[in-house]
Amino acid sequence: MPSERSPPIQRRRALLTGGTGFVGSNLVKALLAADWEVHLLVRPCAHCHLREVRTYLYQGEIADVISAVQRSQPEVVFHLASLFLAHHTPEQVLPLFQSNVLLGTQLLEAMRIAGVHSLINTGTGWQYFERDTYAPVNLYAATKQAFEDVLAYYVEAAGVRSITLSLFDTYGRGDPRKKLLPSLLNCLETGDVLEMSPGDQILDLLHIDDLCAAYLQAAQLVRDPERAPAAIYAVSGGQRRTLREIAGLLEQAAGRPLRVLWGARPYRDREVMQPWRGTPLPGWTSRIDLRDGIHSLLEERGLLRTRSLELETTRY
C-alpha cells in the first residue's frame, strides 16, 4: 500500500496544434494511450469530443497562444496545424501564411515567454523537389520552409530544441481528406470511372499508426541534450511504389478491377515523380505493410473480396 506522502505521478504534458485534423486526432489518441496529459490549441470551428482533453481557443491573436502555453505548461509542443494546398489562388496567400508561418511563430514566441523548450514540428518532403536541398514544389512547401527559418532563430536565441518530421503521404481508417486512396476506394464502391495521370509517379504512403509512433519517438529524442538542438527527419513508409502499382494492390485485395483511365489527365505542374529521401528518424521504422494497410481500408468499407472468391483464385 503506498504511503500517503508518495508524490502524485506526474503525467507528461503535450500541447498540440492541429489536434482535431486526421493526423492530429489520431496522435491525441496515441498520446492518451501512452498516458500523456493532452492539451489542444483549437480554432473556434474545430471540435474535439474527448472529455479527457483540455482545449484552448485560438482566434488568431498571439495572446491566445501565450495563454494556452502558459496555462498548459507542456513538456513537448506538437505543431501539426497546417493549411495544405497543392496549388494556391492569390486569395489563399494570406491563409497560407496565417496557418503555416504566423501561427507557428506565435507558438515559438509563447514558448519563449513560458520557458517551454521542446517542439515537434511537421514538415513536408515537398520542400525538396528533385533535390536534397531546399527546392519547394509549391507555395505550401515554401511556407513550411519559411517557418523553419523562423524556428532556426528560436533554436539559436531562445534555447528551443526541435525535431521536424518531414511527411510524405499518410493514410488510415476514417480519413476524411480527399487523397488518393479514399478516391480509389470510392471508385471501387461506385464503379465510377477515374481519370488519372499516366501514374508512374512514385508515392511514399505511411500508415497513420506508424506516423503516431514517429511523433512519440520524436518526443523522446527531442529532449536528449546529447542531440543537435534542431533536426529534420524524413518519416517514410519504406515501401515506395508507383501510383499504378498501388492501384494494382487495391484491385488485388478487392478481387475486382478499378475503372481507371491512366493518362487521361496530364501530370501536375511540378509533379513529384520520386520523393525525397532524407535522414530517417532514429529508433523508429514503419511497421505496417502497405498490403495490410490497404486490407484494413477495404475491410472498413466492406470491400474485401469474399472468401469464396479467394478460394476460387487460389484454385487457378
Distances in Å between the Cα of 47 and the Cα atoms of 28, 43, 52, 146 are 13, 8, 14, 28
Q: How far is the CB of 150 from a copy of itself (least distance, A)?
A: 5
Lookup: cell for 148: 523553419
Q: Of the two residues 113 and 231, which places its CB atom closer to a copy of itself in the complex?
A: 113
Judged by CB under 8 A, the residue of 270, 295, 301, 305 near a copy of itself is 270
Q: Which is nearer to a copy of itself, 57 or 102 (CB)?
A: 102
CB 81 within 8 A of CB 18: yes
Characterise 164 by phi-psi region: left (phi > 0), alpha (psi -120 to 50), beta (else).
beta
108/254 with CB nearer a copy of itself: 108
Alpha carbons 221 and 227: distance in angstroms, whole number: 8
Nearer to a copy of itself, 94 or 309 (CB): 94
Using the rule CB under 8 A, which residue among 15, 101, 196, 213 binds a copy of itself? 101
Asked if 147 is part of the footprint of a copy of itself (rule: CB under 8 A), the reply reads yes
Angle at which helix 103-114 crosses helix 62-72, to 10 degrees, equals 40
Among 56, 84, 97, 267, binds a copy of itself (CB under 8 A): 97
Count of chain residues binding a copy of itself (CB under 8 A): 35
62, 180, 202, 232: residue in contact with a copy of itself (rule CB under 8 A):
62
Grid coordinates representing 222?
Answer: 527531442
Distance of alpha carbon 277 from alpha carbon 128, whole angstroms: 9
Helix 180-190 vs helix 243-254: crossing angle, to nearest 10: 40
Instruction: Kindly report the number of other CB atoms within 10 A of residue 98's CB atom.
Output: 14
Q: Tell me if 142 contacts a copy of itself by CB under 8 A.
A: yes
184-223 residues near a copy of itself, rule: CB under 8 A: none
Residues that bind a copy of itself (CB under 8 A): 62-63, 66, 90-91, 93-94, 97, 101-102, 105-106, 109-110, 113, 129, 134-136, 138-139, 141-143, 145-147, 149-150, 152-153, 156-157, 269-270
